[in-house]
């Protein structure tokens, strides 16, 4: 019987190889097929002893060739490994890595979201003479070996909400979080709490969590991965991938294919390679801290050696994070350091004990160190054309602003406030006295009928009929805008898209894009408008001062053909990246603005955009200015930058959190199509998000939704009004009132640390 099982297992291994390598010719696979086939053909005629001998030989051959095949794995093969139902999944890890666990809030399909699995788990071990039981919160996507209801690990918004809830619990209980990332991406539904908005919320909260977070990446699909992936230490499995988009998705965009059309497999292979999504690539770029070696052709549920290795690395990583913020640590830290590989290999992590609950001092330090870690990422992924002198100057300027703000708002501000309060009190006292004295006089005046209605005095009459404020001139209404859209210069009629339902008549382009600011005068439909319109018509005249223009979008992955496309975008728009950062004034109030301009590569966010955004946030924080993210449009993270782009999600969100926590006002204004990564991070986390009526807001565009969920969505699915109804944004503004509304928001919203408060 034993031999039958062995043969079956060999057959399984062969079919697994077929699955992974696909239909391409492969001599190694063909050899295995031939040998196994020969054996099966002759099998029954042989003696048992001979059979055993040959099976053992075959097993050796399999082992040998699997190793050989492993070395040949292309990035796309790895994607197939990760997606294979035989790949080990989170439940296998819970069984084999931890010593005890209880799943929380889910029993197979009975769960608010079976794709997201939460467990309270223990690692127990004997160190010296003592047995330690160390609890952790395990959070991760469960693919369930292809179980339908697990949805492939594609988590719905409420699944990510559940994850966030238990991260908070871990914080309350002061235990580390182990996050396991097994997701092709988040499930793109907009229903509350919203795919994008929930990821943003997770990122915002994780940025401030005061317990250690260790993440393990097996399948890191973009935004879905980030929802639980903002960690102090990021481990990656050697056969996993971590990417901004699936290779198929990238190929569909690259090949400009339409919905339902098939993409050539060669193109998908090429995209998988170009996106630099393997563990080795990500380690090299610094987006994961360490790679854990899997057995040849990837870890499967019975690879017990692998689980042992994983367990050791998890313990080591958790220990290391804690020691990095704790005082007494020297020897243990040395022992754990990965810098000297030989030494590290010699020390069994199981033998080093570190208490995993930490005191309040180090806890604060933890979040700070996390920020420093992410702040330093992706620094090589953008072009910085500033001269050395400029760079030094900018450091000096930063320092000067910090000092200036400290004196003005912290030091002097406090004293000034005290004085103001004193004056206020005195005035109030004086008023009471004055009223008492004046009261009888007023009464007498009334009795005498002063101001009666018999005859109107000449002067009074003049005040009703003569020109008031003659110096103000005649015409009080100046209807022209400071910036005129180029579309206002063509003599043609334009049809409003609502014409069929609202009966709008054609509009004349010069009126529509001129006087009407792109708003249909009949139904109020907002046509998209150039971002320049806002620059000139929202902010005070000539008050815009751009900074960090020298930071330019680059091609960090050397993505083929992308240099050319970038150069074209720069040429066409005159911008150096999709993000323009500047200081400006509205009615005299200073603010910092980060603008995402749709004409530059769809307003996508890459390393340069992220870096500029962060610097703008830091500037606003230092100068105690309010911060406006004006999203003219963004299609998401720039896929050609791969993880260099994705990593901007946690980075920028962390910067925003620091700013808001320090008492700033972070305002987001969506204008046209605003989708995906940026919305699911640094935009969606703002408590004050508004939309111009022209905005579409969402996690994924209609095409992507159709592709991933198979559901047809109505054309109005992403309209600003829907986003408002779902609770994703806080209000909708008419474009022509943008200036007034922003000013109003500056006055009425936001934190204690604004300079004008």
Partner 1 sequence: MKAKRHKVLVANRGEIAIRIVNACLKLGLDFVCVHTREDHASGHVRLAREMGGEKSLYRVASYHDASELLAVADAAGATAVHPGYGFFAEDFRFARRVVTRDRPLTWIGPSWRVIRELGDKINTKRLARRLNVPTVPGSDRPIYDELEAEDMAAKLFAFQSEQGFDQHVVLVKASAGGGGMGIEEVERIDVFKSVYRRLRNYAKRQFLDEGVLIEQRLFGFNHLEVQILGDTSGKNVVHFGTRNCSVQSAGRQKRIEVAPGFAPAEINYRFDAARVLNDITEYSLRIAREVCYDSVGTWEWIVTPKGEPFLMEVNTRIQVENGVSGAIAAIGGIGPVDLVAEQIRVALGEPLGYDQGRIGLKGASIEYRIIAEDPDNRFAPWVGRIERFDWRREPWLTVHSHVPTDTPYEIPTEYDPNLALAIVTGQDLAEAKARGLAFLDGLVLAGRNAGGGELKSNVDFLRKKTDTLLVF
Partner 2 sequence: MLNVRELLQSIKDSPYELIEISAPHTGVVTFAVTEPGARVSGPSGSLLEKPGTQLAILERERNKKPLSAPQKGVIEAVRTELSGTFVEAGTPLLTIRHYLTADEVVDRILKKALYLFLAPERAKYYFVPEVDKKIKAGGSRSVRLTDGQELFIMSRMKREATLAYSGPEGQIYSVYFRVNENVDTGQPLIGVCPGEQLPLVQEVVAKVRSEWGEAR
- Which of partner 1, partner 2, none does residue 455 bind (CB under 5 to 8 Å by kind)? partner 1
Stretch that binds partner 2, among 161-169, 352-360, 708-716, 744-752 (CB under 8 A): 708-716
User: What span, in angstroms and rounded, lies between the C-alpha atoms of 559 and 663?
Assistant: 40
Interface with partner 2: number of residues (CB under 8 A): 13
Among partner 1, partner 2, none, partner that 25 touches (CB below 5 to 8 angstroms by kind) = none
Closer to partner 1 by CB, 107 or 453: give it.
Answer: 453
| Distance separating alpha carbons of residues 556 and 510, to the nearest angstrom | 42
Q: Taking CB under 8 A as the rule, does residue 493 contact partner 2?
A: yes
- Give which of partner 2, partner 1, none residue 463 binds (C-beta under 5 to 8 Å, depending on kind): partner 1
Smallest gap from Cβ 527 to partner 1, in A, equals: 17
Q: Which of 757, 734, 751, 739 lies closest to 688, judged by CA?
A: 751
The pair of structure tokens assigned to 756 is 């004008």
Q: Is 445 in the site for partner 2 (CB under 8 A)?
A: no
Burial profile 128-154: b = 16 or more Cβ within 10 angstroms, e = fewer: eeeeeebbbbbbbbbbbeebeebbbbb
Task: Work out what residue 460 binds among partner 2, partner 1, none; the CB cut-off runs from 5 to 8 Å by kind.
Answer: partner 1
Q: Whole-angstrom Cα distance, residue 370 to residue 207?
A: 8
For residues 400 and 505, which CB has a smaller minimum distance to partner 1 in the complex? 505
User: 589 with 553: CB under 8 angstroms?
Assistant: no
C-alpha–C-alpha distance, residues 237 and 300, integer Å: 12
Using CB under 8 A as the binding rule, the residues of this chain from 711 to 730 that contact partner 2 are 712, 714-715
Q: How far is the CB of 478 from partner 1 (least distance, A)?
A: 10
- Window 524-563: contact mask with partner 2 (x via CB under 8 A): ----------------------------------------
* Binds 715: which of partner 2, partner 1, none (CB < 5-8 Å by kind): partner 2
CA distance 559 to 566: 11
**Contact with partner 2 (CB under 8 A): which of 107, 465, 501, 748?**
501
Q: Which does 474 bind (CB under 5 to 8 A by kind): partner 1, partner 2, none?
A: partner 1
Binding mask 696-735 toward partner 1 (x if CB under 8 A, else -) reads ----------------------------------------
- Contact flag: residue 449 with partner 1 (CB under 8 A): no
Other beta carbons within 10 angstroms of residue 286's beta carbon come to 18
**Among the candidate windows 357-365, 454-462, 595-603, 691-699, which touches partner 1 by CB under 8 A?**
454-462
Q: Minimum Å distance from CB 745 to partner 1?
A: 11
Strands (E) across 408-509 are located at 493-494, 507-508
Nearest to partner 2 of 439, 500 (CB atom): 500
**For partner 1, which residue of 45, 470, 710, 715 counts as binding (CB under 8 A)?**
470
Count of Cβ atoms closer than 10 Å to residue 495 Cβ = 12
Tell me which of 262, 480, 492, 574 binds partner 2, using CB under 8 A: 492
Please give the Cα distance from 296 to 13 (Å, whole number).
Answer: 12
Candidates 385-393, 489-497, 513-521, 639-647: pick the segment binding partner 2 (CB under 8 A).
Answer: 489-497
Q: CB atoms < 10 A from the CB of 251, how many?
A: 21
Q: Which residues pair with 116 in a beta bridge?
A: 141
CB nearer partner 1, residue 253 or residue 499: 499
456 part of the interface to partner 1, by CB under 8 A:
yes
Mark the segment that binds partner 2 (CB under 8 A) among 163-171, 172-180, 307-315, 500-508: 500-508
Give the residue with the Cβ less far from partner 2, 266 or 491: 491
CB 227 within 8 A of CB 160: yes
* Cα(36)–Cα(13) distance, integer angstroms: 11
Please identify which residue in 71, 448, 476, 500 interacts with partner 1, judged by CB under 8 A. 476
Task: Count how many residues are written for the chain.
Answer: 757
Indicate the pairing of strand 100-104 with strand 116-127: antiparallel
Does 740 sit near partner 1 (CB under 8 A)? yes
What are the φ/ψ torsions at residue 474 (nearest 5 degrees)? -85, -55
* Residue 498 within binding range of partner 2, rule CB under 8 A: no
**Which CB, 619 or 718, lies closer to partner 2?**
718
Q: Which of 410, 460, 563, 568 binds partner 1 (CB under 8 A)?
A: 460
CB 754 within 8 A of CB 626: yes
- Structure tokens that stand for 279 in this block: 């563990």
C-alpha 276/C-alpha 220 separation (Å) is 13
Secondary structure of residue 177 in the 3-state scheme: strand
Nearer Cβ to partner 2, position 386 or 706? 706
Binning the chain into helix, strand and coil, the percentages to the nearest 5 are: 50, 15, 30
185: left (phi over 0), alpha (psi -120 to 50) or beta: left
Closer residue to partner 1 (CB): 112 or 442? 442
Contacts of 388 (CB under 8 A, 6+ apart): none
C-beta of 506 vs 563, nearer to partner 2? 506
In 574-623, where does DSSP find H-type helix? 607-623
Question: Is residue 469 a contact residue for partner 1 (CB under 8 A)?
Answer: yes
Q: Which is nearer to partner 2, 105 or 510 (CB)?
A: 510
Report the run of H or E that residue 1 belongs to, with start and end.
Answer: none
Tell me how far apart the alpha carbons of residues 311 and 94 are, in angstroms, rounded to a whole number. 10
Helices and strands (H and E) in the chain: how many: 29, 22
Neighbours of 389 (CB within 10 A): 8
The residue to which tokens 């294979």 are assigned: 84
262, with CB counted inside 10 A (0-12, 13-18, 19+), is exposed
Residues 494-553 within binding reach of partner 1 (CB under 8 A) = 505-506, 508, 510-511, 515
Q: Which residue in the block uniquely carries the two structure tokens 């805008």?
A: 481
- 423 contacts which partner out of partner 1, partner 2, none, CB within 5 to 8 A by kind? none
Question: Can you tell me the distance from the alpha carbon of 221 to that of 637, in angstroms, rounded to the nearest whole number?
Answer: 13
Q: Using CB under 8 A, which of 158, 192, 483, 508 touches partner 2?
A: 508
Identify which range of 146-154, 408-416, 487-495, 594-602 contacts partner 2 by CB under 8 A. 487-495
Q: Nearest Cα to 338, choosing from 326, 325, 321?
A: 321
Q: Which of residues 337-396 bind partner 2 (CB under 8 A)?
A: none
Q: Which stretch binds partner 1 (CB under 8 A): 37-45, 419-427, 474-482, 708-716?
A: 474-482
Q: Given the DSSP bridges, would you call strands 106-107 and 110-111 parallel, antiparallel or unpaired?
A: antiparallel
Select from 61, 309, 333, 494 the one that contacts partner 2 (CB under 8 A).
494
**Of 4, 464, 714, 716, the one binding partner 1 by CB under 8 A:** 464
Among 342, 475, 501, 571, binds partner 1 (CB under 8 A): 475
Rounded to whole angstroms, how far apart are CA atoms 133 and 436? 76
CB of 488 to partner 2, least distance (A): 14
Binding site for partner 2 (CB under 8 A): 490-495, 501, 503, 506, 508, 712, 714-715
List of residues contacting partner 1 (CB under 8 A): 451, 453-456, 460-461, 463-470, 472-477, 491, 493, 505-506, 508, 510-511, 515, 737, 740-741, 744
């Amino acid at each position: 019987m034993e031999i039958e099982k062995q043969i079956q297992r060999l057959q399984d291994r062969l079919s697994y190889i077929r699955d992974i390598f696909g239909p391409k010719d492969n001599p190694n696979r063909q050899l295995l097929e031939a040998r196994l086939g020969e054996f099966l053909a002759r099998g029954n005629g042989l003696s048992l002893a001979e059979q055993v001998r040959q099976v053992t030989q075959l097993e050796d051959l399999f082992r040998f060739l699997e190793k050989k095949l492993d070395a040949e794995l292309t990035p796309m093969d790895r994607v197939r490994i990760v997606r294979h139902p035989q790949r080990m999944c989170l439940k296998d890890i819970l069984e084999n890595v931890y010593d005890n666990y209880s799943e929380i809030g889910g029993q197979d399909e009975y769960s608010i979201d079976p794709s997201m699995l939460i467990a309270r788990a223990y690692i127990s071990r004997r160190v010296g003479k003592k047995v330690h039981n160390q609890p952790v919160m395990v959070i991760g996507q469960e693919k369930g070996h292809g179980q339908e209801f697990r949805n492939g690990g594609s988590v719905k918004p409420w699944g990510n909400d559940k994850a966030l809830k238990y991260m908070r619990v871990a914080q309350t209980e002061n235990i580390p979080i182990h996050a396991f990332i097994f997701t092709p991406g988040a499930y793109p539904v907009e229903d509350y709490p919203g795919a994008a908005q929930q990821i943003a919320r997770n990122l915002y909260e994780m940025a401030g969590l005061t317990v250690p977070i260790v993440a393990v990446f097996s399948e890191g699909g973009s935004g879905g991965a980030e929802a639980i992936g903002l960690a102090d230490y990021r481990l990656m499995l050697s056969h996993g991938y971590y990417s901004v988009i699936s290779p198929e998705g990238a190929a569909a965009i690259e090949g400009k294919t339409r919905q339902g059309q098939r993409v050539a497999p060669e193109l998908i292979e090429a995209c998988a390679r170009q996106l630099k999504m393997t563990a080795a690539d990500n380690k090299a770029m610094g987006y994961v801290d360490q790679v854990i070696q899997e057995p040849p052709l990837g870890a499967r549920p019975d690879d017990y050696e692998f689980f042992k290795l994983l367990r050791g690395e998890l313990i080591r990583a958790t220990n290391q994070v804690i020691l990095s913020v704790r005082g007494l640590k020297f020897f243990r830290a040395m022992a754990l350091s990965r810098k000297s590989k030989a030494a590290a290999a010699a020390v069994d992590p199981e033998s080093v004990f570190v208490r995993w609950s930490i005191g309040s001092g180090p806890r604060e330090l933890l979040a700070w160190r996390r920020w420093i870690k992410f702040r330093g990422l992706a620094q090589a992924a953008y072009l910085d054309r500033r001269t050395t002198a400029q760079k030094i100057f900018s450091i000096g300027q930063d320092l000067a602003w910090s000092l200036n703000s400290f004196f003005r708002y912290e030091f002097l501000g406090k004293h000034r406030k005290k004085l103001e309060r004193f004056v206020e009190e005195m005035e109030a006292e004086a008023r009471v006295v004055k009223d008492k004295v004046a009261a009888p006089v007023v009464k007498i005046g009334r009795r005498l009928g002063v101001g009666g209605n018999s005859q109107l005095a000449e002067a009074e009459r003049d005040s009703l009929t003569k020109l008031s404020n003659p110096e103000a001139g005649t015409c009080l209404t100046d209807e022209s805008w400071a910036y005129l859209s180029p579309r206002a210069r063509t003599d043609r009629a334009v049809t409003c898209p609502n014409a069929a339902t609202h009966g709008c008549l054609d509009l004349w382009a010069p009126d529509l894009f001129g006087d009407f600011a792109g708003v249909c005068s009949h139904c109020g439909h907002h046509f998209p408008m150039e971002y320049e319109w806002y620059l000139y018509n929202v902010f005070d005249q000539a008050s815009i001062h751009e900074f960090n223009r020298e930071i330019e979008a680059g091609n960090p992955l050397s993505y083929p053909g992308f240099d050319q496309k970038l150069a074209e975008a720069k040429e066409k728009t005159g911008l150096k990246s999709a993000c323009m950062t500047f200081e400006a004034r509205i009615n005299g109030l200073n603010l910092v603005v980060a603008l995402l301009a749709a004409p530059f590569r769809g307003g996508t966010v890459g390393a340069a955009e992220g870096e500029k955004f962060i610097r703008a946030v830091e500037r606003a924080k230092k100068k105690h200015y309010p911060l406006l993210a004006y999203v003219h449009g963004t299609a998401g993270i720039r896929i050609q930058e791969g993880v260099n782009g994705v990593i901007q999600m946690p980075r920028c969100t962390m910067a925003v959190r620091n700013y808001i926590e320090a008492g700033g006002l972070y305002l987001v204004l969506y204008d046209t199509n605003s989708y995906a990564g940026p919305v699911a991070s640094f935009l969606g986390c703002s408590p004050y998000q508004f939309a111009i009526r022209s905005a579409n807001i969402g996690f994924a565009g209609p095409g992507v939704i159709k592709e991933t969920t198979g559901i047809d969505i109505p054309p109005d699915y992403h309209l600003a009004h829907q986003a408002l109804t779902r609770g994703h944004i806080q209000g909708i503004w008419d474009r022509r009132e943008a200036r007034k509304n922003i000013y109003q928001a500056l006055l009425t919203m936001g934190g204690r640390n604004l300079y004008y408060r």
